[in-house]
Structures are given as C-alpha cells and as structure tokens.
Amino acid sequence: MNFELTISPMNDIEADVELIIVVNNDLKHRFVHDKKMLKKAGFSAEQDETCLLIENNRLYVGVESISSVNIRTAVATAIKGLSKTSYKNLKIASYMNHPKCTAVLRAMVEGFELGAYNFDNYKSKKSTQAIKKIIISLEEYNNYELDIEICAIAVNNGQITAEATNFTRDIVNTTPDDCYPAVMADIAEKLAENNGLTCNILKPKQLKEEKMETLLAVARASRHRPRVIHLTHKPKKPKAVVTLVGKGLTYDSGGLSLKPSDYMVTMKSDKSGGSAVLGIMKAISEMNLPIEVHGFVGAVENMIGGDAYKPDDVLVAKNGKTIEVRNTDAEGRLVLADVLCYAQQEVKADYIFDFATLTGASVVGVGHYTSSVMGNNDLPKDAVIAAAKSAGEFATKLDFNRYLKKSLKSEIADICNISNTRYGGAITAGQFLEEFINKEHKDKWAHIDIAGPAFVEHAWGENPHGASGAGVRMMLRLLEKLAKEK
C-alpha cells in the first residue's frame, strides 16, 4: 500500500473514494457532506460503525473521540469494508488531538495496513486489496497547522511498524509443515541480508557444544532439527543495548504429555514469540534506531516418538541447573531456559525482554486480548505496559510471590518444570524462567506471555482471524522511547 502526504486541501484532491471520520457523533462538522443521507441510512456514528454512500463515493466511519486507539480500529474497519469494491485510491484528511503530536496520524497509517491484511496463502482463490494508494491531506479536523516533515516521519514509522507486524503475522499463520526450525532460520538469514543485520545460526552440533541440553531434549523426537537464531542490529554509538528472546516452537504436540486433539489445532501459533522477535528486528533496522538490539529465537518442534524426552527425566540446563520433567507440554520454558542463558553469555544488555506463548493460564487469567508481564523489577515491566498502551496493545502485570515459587520445588532436582498446583500457572512459569536469569540481569529482565493475543480465532479491533503480531508494536514503542531518552 502506498501513502502520499500532501498539503492540498481535501476538495483539491482527486480520488476514487473519500474516507471521512465522524468524531463523537458530530454530523455538523465541515467534513461531513451528506448529513441527510446519513440520517436516512440510520448511521449513528458509533465507534467503528461504517456507512458507504456509493453514489457520492464517500465512506463514513465513527469514532468516540480522536485518539490513537479509536482512529486505528476505525480506519482498519473502514479499509476492510472497501476490500471488495473497485476503488483503487482513497483520500482522507488528518485528525489530531494536538497540533504537535503525530501519534494519531501514525495510528491511522497502522490501521490502514493492519486492516488490509489478509492471509490467503492456502486458498485456491486469492483475495486482492482494492485500495492501492492512500492520499493523506494535511487539512486537519481541528484546523491545526501541521508540519509536513514531522508528519512524514509519523507516516513512515507507522508503515514500517504495520508492515513488520504483518510480516510477523505471516510467519505465525504459516503451517507447521511449511515453517519448521530450518525455515525460520532461512527467514532470519534473508531478513539479515535485506536489512543489513548480522545473523548467526546455531545448528545441533553447535547447540551441543553450548550445552543447551534442555532445548535439544525438547527437539529430540522431531525430524526437524532445532536452530537458535541470533540477529543483531548494531549502530555506531548505541544509546542502549537490548536483548530480545523469543519462543519459536514451530509446532507443539505436547510431546509424550500429548495434547487433546482440539488443543493441538492452532499450535502453529506457538512460534509467535520468536516470530515477533523477527518482526521487531525488521522494523528497528528499517527505522535505523540508535539502539543496539540482539534478537534470539529458539526454533524447535516438540513431537512424539521413541526418542522423545519423558516425564520423570532430569535435564541439565546450560547454566548447570537440573530440571525434573513432570510434563513434556511445558516445553517452551525449557527452550527459553537455554536460550536466555545463551543470550546473556553473548550479550551484556541494559534490558532483556522475552516473548512467548507460554501458558494457557495467562489466557485464563487475563483473557484473549491481553499480554501478561512479569519480572523482578517494576521499571522494565512498567516500561512494557506503557509502550503497549501507546501502541494500542493490552498488557498487565502479574506479580511474582515467594509462596507460588515454592510450588516449583523438586525432590530430585534443582527445580521442576511445572508447579504442584493448578493455580497461578502463568506466574510460576515466569518464576521458572527467572531461575535462568543471571544475578546482574535480574532487575533488567521482563517476561511477556503473549499466549492470549498472539492468535485468536476471530477478528478483533485492527486484528484479523489468526495471528495478530502481538508484541511487535509495543516493543517498537519501547525501543523508540529508549532512543530518545539518553
């Protein structure tokens, strides 16, 4: 999708269709040209409600108020509504809640790109997005005077962010037979080549040399050999160093603790954390942020077979801690344990963030649309939550506590891979990961469980059925803020 920013007023711009946002039911605003027809059509301008007046080539959409969240979902809804029309280009005015804050303009661009997304790789009849070009006029709803150069940056960053999110969605939505560890590694290498990143791929021999035995145990029964991916964006004189770690389970059968069949469906989404890391690395390289960022992905498939790791096994992690396996379906934390250890060995970071579809307990606790954020220190946790709010994602804190941590005690090893209680499973999973964070990094680390929003089997907001690209937008906002702080 192409975006054009212009100082021309709306009436001077030629386009196939005009998109008009109606704010707070205000049908008397100068942008609203068809008051009588809208009233006749029963259009009440509620949030995300649309009305297409074909005879006038105008599409109206309602928002409760001018905010990034409202504009993003409204525009996404509108572009979906035009997907089957013959319109090729669209014009829209600018809508701001402050003359010098371009966040809403960026959200508008994100809404267009995210709403237009469609995954039809496996359909015999491909869909096409009719709208190819969007012209954004700097004629503004509140008559604010806008700086075209500042607005151009917002448009560019919005497009980069949304394209990286859609890139992530594509990886997550790809079936396990088409996206296994070696394929994820190929995607990373191609991304590095195209975007000027450094890429290092560890294969089984190197993983063995690095003593990543818990990761190798999870991968043992699969015909697809595991990979650990390390992508690096390293600008000159970086303002901070950040490590991102993603769970890349390209498929999770549950192993010998086999999932029920209906729970196996959608397990291609268990690579959402690793896919998000790839998407974030794509975006930061294109924005060329002055932050050194390292992205690590543990790409593994958890299958069953005669060589599968078993409940009752005791595994030795890279940092030497022994783990009693009581459930082979708690495999993501075993993969992350080794990758977190490896990432800390390779990089001394100011912050460490891991992303994982780690627990169903997170979905039970906070719902499908919200990520759970955990860690030892409020600073990185609060930074994630603030960034999520800015990006239009939902995130909330789940606090660690010493009583739940006791439930991970093992009588035969240093720690058990599941707790001895059915309650607080998202928190105990986070506390398990904490065992593999070095002392010097304890307060620099946050764990982000994206099990809820990463893959939902219905459309919501600007997100389609399936993968949402959860984590990409929030982390980009956090990294952008770090780039401005120092």
How does pLDDT run across 109-145, given as a tens digit for each residue?
999 999 999 999 999 988 777 899 999 999 999 999 9
The predicted-structure confidence for 406-435, as pLDDT tens digits, reads as follows: 999 999 999 999 999 999 999 999 999 999
> CA end-to-end span of the chain, whole Å?
34
Residue 211: predicted pLDDT: 98
In the chain, ranges of CATH 3.40.630.10 domains? 164-485
pTM, to two decimals = 0.97
Instruction: Calculate helix-pair angle for 68-81, 103-116, nearest 10 degrees.
Output: 30
Q: Identify the band that residue 53 occupies on the pLDDT scale cut at 50, 70 and 90.
A: very high
In the chain, ranges of CATH 3.40.220.10 domains? 2-140
Pick the catalytic residue: 203, 239, 259, 326?
Answer: 259
The predicted-structure confidence for 276-316, as pLDDT tens digits, reads as follows: 999 999 999 999 999 999 999 999 999 999 999 999 999 99
Kindly state the tokens that stand for 342: 């490896």
**Number of other CB atoms surrounding residue 223 within 10 Å:** 8
Mean pLDDT of the chain: 97
Architecture of domain 164-485: 3-Layer(aba) Sandwich (3.40)
Pick the catalytic residue: 227, 333, 381, 444?
Answer: 333
Q: Give catalytic status of residue 259 as yes or no.
A: yes
Residue 165: predicted pLDDT: 98
The predicted-structure confidence for 26-37, as pLDDT tens digits, reads as follows: 999 999 999 999
Residue 100: predicted pLDDT: 87
CA 283 to chain centre: 12
Q: Which of 85, 73, 169, 187 is nearest to 119 (CA)?
A: 169
**Number of other CB atoms surrounding residue 120 within 10 Å:** 11
Kindly state the tokens that stand for 224: 């697809």
Which CATH code fits 2-140? 3.40.220.10
CA 442 to chain centre: 24
The predicted-structure confidence for 224-263, as pLDDT tens digits, reads as follows: 999 999 999 999 999 999 999 999 999 999 999 999 999 9
Residues 6+ apart with CB under 8 A from 128: none
Q: Is the pLDDT assigned to residue 348 strictly greater than 80?
A: yes
Residue 28: predicted pLDDT: 93
The answer to whether 455 and 466 are in contact (CB under 8 A) is yes
Mean pLDDT within 366-380: 97
Residue 460 DSSP code: B
Q: Which of 403, 406, 395 is nearest to 447 (CA)?
A: 395
Q: Give catalytic status of residue 442 as yes or no.
A: no
Q: Is the pLDDT assigned to residue 448 strictly greater than 80?
A: yes
Cβ-count burial 444-472 (b if 16+ within 10 Å, e if not): bbbbbbbbbbbbbeeeebbbbebbbbbbb
Q: What is the rounded distance in angstroms from the CA atom of residue 243 to the CA atom of residue 295?
A: 6
Mean pLDDT within 344-366: 98
The predicted-structure confidence for 166-204, as pLDDT tens digits, reads as follows: 999 999 999 999 999 999 999 999 999 999 999 999 999
Q: Which of 123, 114, 92 is nearest to 5 (CA)?
A: 92
Residue 486: predicted pLDDT: 59
Q: How far is CA 113 from CA 14, 51, 160, 466, in A?
A: 21, 20, 10, 16
What type of residue is 201?
I
